[in-house]
Chains A and B, each alone.
Chain A
């Protein structure tokens, strides 16, 4: 596009059927127009150079990643039919004629699965509860406005970071070796990860509170626990509860896969069904897990909206 050749412009006489006031538009002298265009072109060129460099770096990174990830596109496209084949295999043999009977036979093991689902929910609940209690105790030590000693702040923040960064499954693997198979290592693994995740969120809530009630309590001679109980807690409790409910929903998803390493719940049955190619069992359990997650999602969203409404009405 030729930016230099600006065609001579004459105002139209009508615009959408309305007459135009001629002479109402101010035109820049050609020297200024040329300067403005040159500046625009150089700015666009600089931005294009940066974007181009970024794209080249990205392509190099992708190529290297392709080598490290053993990406073989020929093999992928030769075998791509397997994915829809697998999905079709997952579909249960439902017929309109015998819909009730077919669904009953699709969910043939529903009692065991429901029992395992209750176990999974309890694992998530206990893990979240223990994690929230631990995070509650630790969060006040890691905030800048309530904790004046720097080493306590740094130590507690690093500890929370460690609990948060190591994946739950890794904790679960270690705890299965230490505590044996069963739901207990799953609960402890979720609890420790939750301490880290909730600890950071709680600390952010506490750092944003109004310090005036804290100063008031300190001025009347209250000790640390009393100060926290009367001036910090009323401000932060609804935020804490909201984050805990969010974490519970995430932990239900995490608890469902704890069974992959033997830490209890429905994951064990799911892994068995996938590995043994029991296709309809896989789809049945997946439907149960998705339904549970959706219900918990809706329930916690309702409660959290109510809490946020209560908070804003204060």
Chain B
């Protein structure tokens, strides 16, 4: 069948060309743009590879080293340190839970301040939004190092680091949820004689609270992953043991720790998804 179609099309080629000139014309301008773009990307990549001292020899030896390491990682085994690792895992989940909740509680009022419909002042809105973006722009590991300097090593620095770095994210998300809330319940409250605070309590909060709870649960899962790595700089949790075992080249313990991290994140992901489904239902889940 295809050969019959192809033969018929080839026989009629001149007619087709006349009827659909745009399909058969060579797109010179578009092609030049695409080739130019790809050339720029490639040139930048080559410059990057040169400047960052990539070399095939290094990649080769590195890959063989990596294969050797992965071989030593199997089978994963905790040795005699299982209780220590399990306690560190509990610490990690505790850091994530307390950090996320602190950030949510602190960001709740700030979300209202950053929302255009609560605080119509454009200047205040801009300032608060930029302040939250600044906090978000600094990675959680940097906050962990700073808080270690303030409160010392240990999980408390980790809780504060996660709380502060999430405060920025929650402030922005909460304010967006408030700005996109439905106006009709607010008008209902005003029509029965409610003041501004009544509008917030009875018309706005019941709408945005499920959305906020859903976002907090989503970030709880993401923060469990962050909590596992801030231990690498000393802020408590399982990251400390991970960095330590890598430094002493105990690869089977390293793979066991990575496995523990993966399982924990998967469990927290499952819990968080179930709770989010229960709170806001499948149709409204965005992430």
Contacts and interface: CB of A to CB of B under 8 A. Distances in A.
Interface of B: 2, 5, 41, 44-45, 47-49, 51-54, 58-59, 61-63, 65-66, 69, 87, 90-91, 93-95, 97-98, 101, 133-134, 137-139, 141-142, 145-146, 149-151, 154-156, 158-159, 225-226, 228-229, 232-233, 236, 242-243, 246, 249, 254, 258, 261-262, 265-266
A178 B65 contact: yes
Interface in A60-82: 61-62, 64-72, 76, 79, 82
Contacts of A180: 58, 62
Interface stretch (A33-41, A104-112, A286-294): A286-294
A57 B101 CA distance: 14
7 contacts: A65-B93, A69-B158, A70-B154, A125-B45, A170-B229, A174-B66, A253-B139
Most buried by A among B48, B133, B236, B258: B48
Contacts of A277: 149
Contact of B62 (A65, A178, A290): A178
Chain A, interface size category, equals 35 or more
Nearest to A173: B246
B101 A62 contact: yes
A198 interface: no
B81 to A, nearest CB: 18
Contact of B45 (A129, A178, A257): A129
Nearest to B63: A178
Given A125-B48, A184-B58, A290 B53 contact: no
Contacts of B225: 165, 167
Interface string A261-278: 100100000110011010
Contacts, number: 166
A76 to B, nearest CB: 7
Contacts of B90: 68
B72 to A, nearest CB: 11
A275 B234 CA distance: 12
Given A122-B48, A126-B49, A174-B246, A270 B142 contact: yes
A243 interface: no
